[in-house]
Copies of this chain bind each other. A is one copy, B any other.
Amino acid sequence: MDIQRKDVHNSDLPVLCQACESRHRGVCGALTPDQLLQLSKHSTRRTLEPGAELAGESIQTKTYSNIISGVVKLSKMMADGRQQIVGLQFAPDFLGRPFRKENGVSAEAATGVKVCSFPKQVIERMIGEMPELEHKLLEQTLDELDEARNWMLTLGRKTAGEKVASFLLLIATHAFPDNESDSVEFELPMSRMDIADFLGLTMETVSRQLTKLRADGVIRIINNRHVEVPDIARLSDRAGM
């Protein structure tokens, strides 16, 4: 019940959603108090375990969700089982594909995740009434497109070492978007295998590159998940930026 405000970093939004008890940009940020109240009636909150599936690749989903806390991974799979994670979504992102029948990607909780879901119908009707809402969706979609294209550069042209450094940088940035200091620490939101699937590598290569970064003093790792970065600029160098 006590939603941490720090989870919700993009807090220039004035409205507090009745359903999620949270501010977020995905959808609710654009709604009027009346609409929020109406939305609240149709929305449900859920808590998901790591690994729980939110949506399948070609399954029709009847709901949209706002991520309240946690990290969701979006992935695609080939017929023979090779997998690629094509995006990560953090609170307070919006989850779901407006005006599309199929998802195109499957969505799975990477960490424990809290979401606030509501039926497509309701949101799509509201979009019709409120151009502002559609504008929000366009903005988020443009952001996701930027991230996807940045990641294409990473996948296509970076070495294993640069990829792993880029990943750490990405997580650090999303965990503390406003970080000013030159050091940072955070928890990795996913397993070595997931990281490998995100970077187009194998688990072993990810492990080796992490070991190398550690040996070179660029990072410290405690307990397999907790990462300390004493000097972000050095990590950034390693990422090829």
- Decide if A141 is an interface residue (CB 8 Å cutoff): yes
Question: For this complex, into which size category does the number of interface residues on chain A fall?
Answer: 35 or more
Cβ of A152 and Cβ of B98 under 8 Å apart?
no
CA distance A100 to B143 in the complex (A): 10
Q: How far is the CA of A142 from the CA of B158 in the complex (A)?
A: 26
Query: B99 to A139, Cβ gap below 8 A?
Result: yes
Contact B105 A149 (CB under 8 A): yes
Q: Does A134 contact B (CB under 8 A)?
A: yes
Asked whether, in the complex, the Cβ of B149 is within 8 Å of the Cβ of A87, the reply is yes
User: Are B141 and A76 in contact (CB-based, < 8 A)?
Assistant: no
Looking at A77-85, A176-184, A186-194, A212-220, the stretch in contact with chain B turns out to be A77-85
In whole angstroms, how far apart are the Cα atoms of A134 and B82 in the complex? 37
Smallest CB–CB gap between A134 and chain B, Å?
6
Cross-chain contact B79 with A146 (CB below 8 angstroms):
no
* Contact among B78, B131, B141, B156 for A131, CB-based, below 8 A: B131
Closest to A74 in B: B149
Give the most central of A84, A87, A145, A157: most B CB within 10 Å.
A145
Instruction: Check B153 against A151 for contact (C-beta < 8 Å).
Output: no
Q: In this assembly, does A36 line the interface, its C-beta being within 8 Å of a C-beta of chain B?
A: no
Docked Cα-Cα span, A104 to B149, in Å, equals: 9
Specify which of B104, B146, B157, B200 is in contact with A146 (CB 8 Å cutoff): B104
What CA separation (Å) do A86 and B157 show in the bound complex? 11
A99 to B139, CA, bound (A): 8
Supposing A141-B138, A141-B141 touch, asked if A153 and B99 sit within 8 A by C-beta, the answer is: no
A241 at the interface (CB under 8 A from B): yes
**Which of the residues B83, B137, B142, B153 comes within 8 Å of A86, measured between beta carbons?**
B153
Closest 5 CB pairs of A and B: A156-B200, A148-B148, A131-B131, A155-B155, A86-B149
Instruction: Supply 24 A–B pairs (Cβ within 8 Å), ascending by A.
Output: A76-B149, A76-B153, A78-B153, A78-B157, A78-B158, A78-B240, A79-B241, A80-B240, A82-B158, A83-B157, A84-B156, A86-B152, A86-B153, A97-B142, A98-B138, A98-B142, A131-B134, A141-B145, A145-B145, A148-B149, A151-B152, A152-B155, A156-B199, A156-B200
